[in-house]
């Protein structure tokens, strides 16, 4: 019997996601067995630190991918939005299974919807992108950083530490906490991070055996959507930690892509959408970025390079 070693974070959600991938692979070949290798990441170690100290990409996957590159595991399972667009030359995303919901959702103390909060209500988020979208739509609300895993954050709301939090719907659904959702937020008002809701199976580029195996659980439609989202974000962001929302949707042979970014004070929003052929996804992403740049995206991104997060 072949045993494959799978790298994962230690959180309950990460374990659930890893078990989901293992289950898919076992359906393909019941003779396979798997060993979960739990690896602590910088994001887990410092999850209680101040928000401003966490503006570094890769904090939830770097140690796991290093373990993969050393050959100590056969593949890794990540939340795709945690995987930097500029990864490691030795590694490749071998599969993206069918994507779960990309939406953000609201979990509120008394079931309020976003438009129903009183001025001064406290909204918790660990994401600059979510923070600035809240600020843009409701500048009268107070935004407060929140740390900890998803279950802890939901508990913080129920205990009254926050009036509400904004989190990814996919995580709540996987944890079976979707009954706590007060409102699913629209993709236009709360554009997600590239790849939000999707999982990535990361493999060494030269490991043909494992690449062939995991390719069988790849969802081509999800892959097409997410690759164009990541291309838009990568080209627009240019290494900066500016909050960029982007969502792509494939309909037949066409891709509809929407992206936006915001000024540091949250007052100005720049957005654009385009439709093009799946086969021309690269040019579609380039044209969308060009439109955003013409509208002033570079100036906004330069603001974020100079400024720290303002809560």
Q: Is 153 a catalytic residue?
A: yes
Q: What would the mean pLDDT of 218-234 be, rounded to a whole number? A: 95
Separation CA 85–CA 150 (nearest Å): 24
Per-residue pLDDT tens for 175-225?
999 999 999 999 999 999 999 999 999 999 999 999 999 999 999 999 999
pTM above 0.85? Answer: yes
Q: Which of 5, 184, 221, 240 is catalytic?
A: 240
**Residue 240, pLDDT score:** 61
Residue 240 bears catalytic tag = yes
Beta-strand relationship, 3-8 and 75-79:
parallel
Q: d(Cα 183, Cα 173) in Å, to the nearest integer?
A: 14
Q: Is 82 a catalytic residue?
A: yes
pLDDT tens-digit series, residues 152-178:
999 999 898 999 999 999 999 999 999
- Taking CA 241 as the corner, what is the angle to CA 238 and CA 244, rounded to the nearest 5 degrees? 80
Mean pLDDT of 271-277: 95
Question: In 3D, which of 220, 282, 291, 227 has the Cα closest to residue 259?
Answer: 291
Active site residue 147: yes
The active-site residue out of 9, 99, 109, 130 is: 130
Here the tokens at position 233 are 């974000």
> What are the structural domains, with CATH classification, of the chain?
3-98+198-218 (3.40.190.10), 104-184 (3.40.190.10), 229-306 (3.30.160.40)
Q: Is the pLDDT of residue 275 over 60?
A: yes
Average pLDDT rounded to a whole number, residues 278-284: 94
Whether residue 81 lies in the annotated active site: yes
């Amino acid at each position: 019997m072949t045993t494959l070693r799978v790298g994962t974070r230690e959180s309950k959600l990460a374990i659930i996601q890893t078990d989901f991938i293992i289950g898919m692979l076992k359906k393909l070949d019941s003779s396979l067995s798997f060993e979960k290798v739990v690896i602590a990441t910088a994001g887990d170690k410092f999850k209680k630190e101040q928000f401003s100290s966490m503006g570094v990409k890769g904090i939830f996957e770097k140690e796991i991918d290093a373990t993969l590159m050393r050959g100590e595991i056969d593949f890794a399972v990540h939340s795709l939005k945690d995987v930097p667009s500029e990864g490691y030359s030795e590694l490749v995303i071998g599969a993206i299974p069918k994507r779960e919901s990309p939406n953000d959702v609201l979990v509120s103390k008394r079931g309020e919807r976003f438009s129903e909060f009183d001025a001064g209500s406290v909204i918790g988020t660990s994401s600059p992108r979510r923070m600035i979208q809240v600020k843009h739509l409701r500048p009268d609300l107070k935004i407060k950083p929140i740390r900890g895993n998803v279950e802890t954050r939901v508990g913080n709301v129920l205990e009254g530490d926050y009036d509400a939090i904004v989190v990814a719907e996919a995580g709540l659904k996987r944890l079976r906490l979707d009954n706590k959702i007060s409102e699913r937020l629209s993709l236009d008002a709360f554009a997600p991070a590239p790849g939000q809701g999707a999982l990535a199976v990361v493999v060494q580029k030269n490991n043909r055996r494992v690449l062939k195996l995991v390719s069988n659980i790849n969802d081509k439609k999800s892959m097409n959507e997410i690759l164009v989202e990541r291309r838009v974000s990568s080209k627009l962001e240019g290494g900066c930690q500016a909050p960029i929302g982007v969502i792509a949707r494939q309909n037949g042979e066409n891709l509809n892509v929407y992206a936006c970014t915001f000024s540091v004070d949250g007052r100005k929003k720049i957005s654009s959408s385009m439709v093009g052929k799946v086969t021309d996804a690269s040019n579609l992403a380039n044209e969308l970025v060009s439109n955003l740049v013409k509208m002033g995206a570079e100036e906004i991104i330069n603001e974020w390079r100079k400024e720290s997060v303002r809560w």
